[in-house]
């Protein structure tokens, strides 16, 4: 695939070198188009050496090739990382004072911006207006990560990890030919992931084997398709998906509180987290010790049914609710019963145990719909299942 990697003048430009390496090593032909001031951070020889392609910043070089038109026309993907406040403003205004902004005007392929700047600049009304304009035109503008910025500052504005940006690029390329790369643009979605833990004492808990990978793939895929994503993560050890706001929780009670807080404004809610059905009725204040005899029974209390609560009558009109059912018995019978009991619009039913689903990079499932629909998804990468799920969600979202 032919990719234009746009680089604007931010300190995070050095991270784009790693993104470039990942793209070229996966077989893509990458042409780096920096803004003139971006070369103050990373020089032209570095981009040329890593890409194996010439580096041009102005449309006045190699004019006979008409680069300001040809590069955008021929690209399969334009990916700008980092995208500064200045670059976003100029792109939204349709300015073309350098080669990169000219390419953005001529591109007819998926375009993604990965913003990076100080928090105050990201939150400024002018920047948010530019982001909204670009998203309304079908571009994917990822939300920046939160963390340490230049100097001692911390907050939203950090460029996401290059490996996560690489995953976004692959998702955009995979769906670009179908013209669906940004079909969730303007939508707000909430995804839960991971497995909850219910404390027995200060060192032990009741839990499950969920790694959170399927939920993270759902979040990453939704961001690549243009959605504004909130990911509620329970006890995961995965890198934050690019473009997703991540909230971390531990127990079912914390997960419920977070989901009820962020879900009311969402267009779609996907409950992919494995939630403990029960918790210890009382948590021991000190570590439980062996007594030499039979241990005392642990009294359990039932946790709230978060999915049923989210799918209840108080939910937002037109909101699509998706649940997950990890089963070890009759997949369809158990799934149909759970779909009816929970009240959700879609239920993703998958077999677990024996090396299936939990902790693996692939999955197989049946997507059951409250309207009687059924989609069988054969075993494959979890990002493929994520696309099937978002396809089903997108088809049910009000226009």
What are 60's two structure tokens? 């006045």
> Of the candidates 70, 92, 66, which has an alpha carbon nearest to the alpha carbon of residue 80?
92
**Beta carbons of 13 and 38 less than 8 angstroms apart:** yes
Name the catalytic one among 208, 303, 350, 363: 208
Q: Does the active-site annotation cover 303?
A: no
186 — phi, psi (to 5°)? 85, -5
- The packing angle between helices 44-51 and 13-25, to 10°, is 20
CA distance 180 to 321: 21
DSSP codes joined into one string, 7-63? E-SSTTHHHHHHHHHHHHHTT-EEEEEE-GGGGGTS-HHHHHHHHSS----STTSSG
Contact 147, 239 (CB under 8 A): no
Q: Is the separation of the CB atoms in 55 and 47 below 8 Å?
A: yes
Using alpha carbons only, give the angle 300, 305, 311 rounded to the nearest 5 degrees.
Answer: 180
DSSP category for residue 95: -
Do the beta carbons of residue 62 and residue 97 sit within 8 Å?
Answer: no
List CB contacts of 303: < 8 A, sequence separation 6 or more. 198, 252, 253, 275, 276, 277, 278, 279
Distances 13 to 38, 75, 329, 350 between C-alpha atoms, Å: 7, 21, 51, 41
Q: Return the active site residues.
A: 208
């Amino acid at each position: 695939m032919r990719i234009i990697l746009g680089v604007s003048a931010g300190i995070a430009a050095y991270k784009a070198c790693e993104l470039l390496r990942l793209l070229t090593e996966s077989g893509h032909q990458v042409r780096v188009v920096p803004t003139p001031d971006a070369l103050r951070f990373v020089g032209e020889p570095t981009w040329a050496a890593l890409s194996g392609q010439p580096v041009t910043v102005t449309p006045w070089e190699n004019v006979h090739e008409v680069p300001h038109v040809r590069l955008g026309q021929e690209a399969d993907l334009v990916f700008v990382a980092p995208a500064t406040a200045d670059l976003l403003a100029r792109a939204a205004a349709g300015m073309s004072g350098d080669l990169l902004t000219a390419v953005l005007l001529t591109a007819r392929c998926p375009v993604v911006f990965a913003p990076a700047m100080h928090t105050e600049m990201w939150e400024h009304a002018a920047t948010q207006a530019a982001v909204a304009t670009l998203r309304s035109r079908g571009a994917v503008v990822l939300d920046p990560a939160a963390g340490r910025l230049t100097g001692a500052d911390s907050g939203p504005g950090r460029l996401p990890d290059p490996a996560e940006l690489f995953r976004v690029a692959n998702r955009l390329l995979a769906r670009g030919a179908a013209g669906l790369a940004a079909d969730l643009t303007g939508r707000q979605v909430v995804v839960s992931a991971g497995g909850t833990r219910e404390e027995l004492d200060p060192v032990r808990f009741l839990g499950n084997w969920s790694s959170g990978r399927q939920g993270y793939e759902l979040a990453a895929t939704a961001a690549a398709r243009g959605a504004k994503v909130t990911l509620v993560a329970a006890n995961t050890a995965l890198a934050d998906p690019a473009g997703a706001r991540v909230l971390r929780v531990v127990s079912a009670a914390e997960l419920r509180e977070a989901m009820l807080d962020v879900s009311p404004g969402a267009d779609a809610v996907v409950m992919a987290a494995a939630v403990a059905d029960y918790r210890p009725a009382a948590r021991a204040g000190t570590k439980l010790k062996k007594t030499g005899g039979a241990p005392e029974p642990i009294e359990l209390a039932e946790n709230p049914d978060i999915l049923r609560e989210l799918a209840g009558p108080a939910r937002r009109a037109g909101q699509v609710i998706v649940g997950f059912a990890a089963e070890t018995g009759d997949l369809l019978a158990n799934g149909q019963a759970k779909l009816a009991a929970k009240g959700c619009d879609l239920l993703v039913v998958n077999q677990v145990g024996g090396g299936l689903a939990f902790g693996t990079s692939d999955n197989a499932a049946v997507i059951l719909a409250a309207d009687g629909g059924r989609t069988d998804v054969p075993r494959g990468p979890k990002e493929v299942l994520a696309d099937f799920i978002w396809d089903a969600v997108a088809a049910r979202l009000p226009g």
